[in-house]
Amino acid sequence: MSNASLPPNAPMMNGTVPDRHGEADVSSSSSLEHVCAQLHSQVQSFLAASPSDDVTRRTQEQTKIALGVIEQALGDYDRFEALSLSYNGGKDCLVLLILYLAVLHTHFSRLVKTESNRQDGSPTFTSFPTSIPSIYAKPPDPFPAVSDFVEYSARLYHLELAHISTNPGPSKKERSHSNPTLTPKAYPRVEQPNPNMNPNDGDGDGVVDSVDHSISISKPIVSFRDAFELYLSSHPSVKAIFVGTRRTDPHGAHLTHFDPTDHNWPPFMRIHPVIDWHLSEIWCFLRSPHLKDLETTGPLRYCPMYDEGYTSLGGVNDTLKNPKLKARDENGREYYRPAYEMTEDEGERLGRD
């Protein structure tokens, strides 16, 4: 899918994130195969450690479950290209990404070993992938710190990240992959635009006319749902997408590990390996001494906004520091404690509009 076929402000790129000057940073010190091997070793070290408390024990159990879900998905979809990952730089999808890459190490190592042991002399075709198909359905007003972290992690973890900007941001009903039945929208549903047609022309085979024809707009609307439709239309091989949704998220209460889309969403299987993780377990995993930054060997890097009092990240206009983390120092000056100090799920989204 070329940039010309996307609505305005909805750039799509393969494998890279543009820097501030528009140039794509494609550098990475290690191959994806090496990155996956390193993360597999770190995750196994975390699992092998004797748990020091109940949170660590629960996190190890949830890690094993999530690894099993990912392994099942790789078995269910025999072509790697059928799987993609929804990634926005947040804490939940970072956990998911690390676990996914760790499983890829064992999965492809097993496939290569199996094929090398064939007795019939037939040719083998399995090779380790060089990038991870993924989608970033980003808000129209992303925080610079989030954009920087997405750029960093896309480079480090070899994400073939398709950027699709929502325009404007999704409504509250559309911030989940699983929604109640939607009422008719007062804006046009975006279809695959015809690159030969003026996107402002409501006739022909371009953008579908508005439900409310009294509304006039200068550019197509891209909702969260539309972003996924655009992505799937340009990646027809994708049949399932890993999503970092947790049960405490909006519309996450009734999800399972595998759920097909519903309620007017484009058809694909949603895979939720971390659906039953609690907030304390997310932070236990990300801040484990067994998880390291692959470039510096220091602590695993996550978006720095979490250390500034933000607990749930959206766009600039709908994200605030969590009031439950507000505190005062000995001189009475106000500050916010880091997100990992919030251990209960309740109140996690108090900073979101």
From first to last of the 353 residues of the chain, give the pLDDT tens digit: 333 333 333 333 333 333 333 333 334 568 999 999 999 999 999 999 999 999 999 999 999 999 999 999 999 998 999 999 999 999 999 999 999 999 999 999 887 665 555 555 554 456 899 999 999 999 999 999 999 999 999 999 999 999 999 986 445 544 444 433 333 333 333 333 333 333 334 334 333 333 333 333 345 678 899 999 999 999 999 999 999 999 999 889 999 999 999 888 999 999 999 999 999 999 999 999 999 999 999 999 999 999 999 999 999 999 999 999 999 999 999 999 999 999 899 999 998 87
Are both 176 and 317 inside the same structural domain? Answer: no
Considering the domain architecture, whether residues 127 and 95 belong to the same structural domain is answered as yes
Q: What is the reported pLDDT for 263?
A: 83
Q: What is the CATH number of the domain that holds 259?
A: 3.40.50.620
- Separation between Cα atoms, residue 302 and residue 338, nearest integer Å: 12
Q: How confident is the model at residue 180, as a pLDDT?
A: 33
Residue 119's pLDDT is: 55
Question: In what order do the strands lie in the sheet containing 132-138?
Answer: 159-165, 132-138, 83-86, 240-242, 269-271, 258-260
Structural domains in the chain (count): 2
Are 134 and 256 found together in one domain? Answer: yes
**Cα–chain-centroid distance for residue 332?**
39
Q: Provide the residue range defining the domain that includes 325.
A: 307-353
Task: State whether 315 and 296 are in the same domain.
Answer: no
Can you give 280-316 as a three-state secondary structure string? HHHHHHHCCCCCECCCCCCECCCCHHHHHCCCCCCEH
Q: For residue 294, what are the contacts with CB-CB under 8 A and spacing of at least 6? A: 30, 35, 38, 39, 156
Q: Are residues 243 and 327 in the same domain?
A: no
282 and 234 share a domain? yes
Q: 244 and 297 share a domain?
A: yes
**Neighbour tally for 50: CB within 10 Å:** 7
| Same-domain status, 204 and 332 | no
Query: Is 254 in the same domain as 332?
Result: no
If asked whether residues 236 and 330 sit together in one domain, one would say no
Say yes or no: 298 and 327 in one domain: no
Task: Indicate whether 314 and 208 sit together in one domain.
Answer: no
How many CA atoms lie less than 13 Å away from 115 in the CB half-sphere?
13
- pLDDT, position 330: 94
Alpha helices in the chain (DSSP H): 32-48, 54-76, 91-116, 144-156, 224-234, 279-286
The pLDDT score that the predictor gives to residue 111 is 79
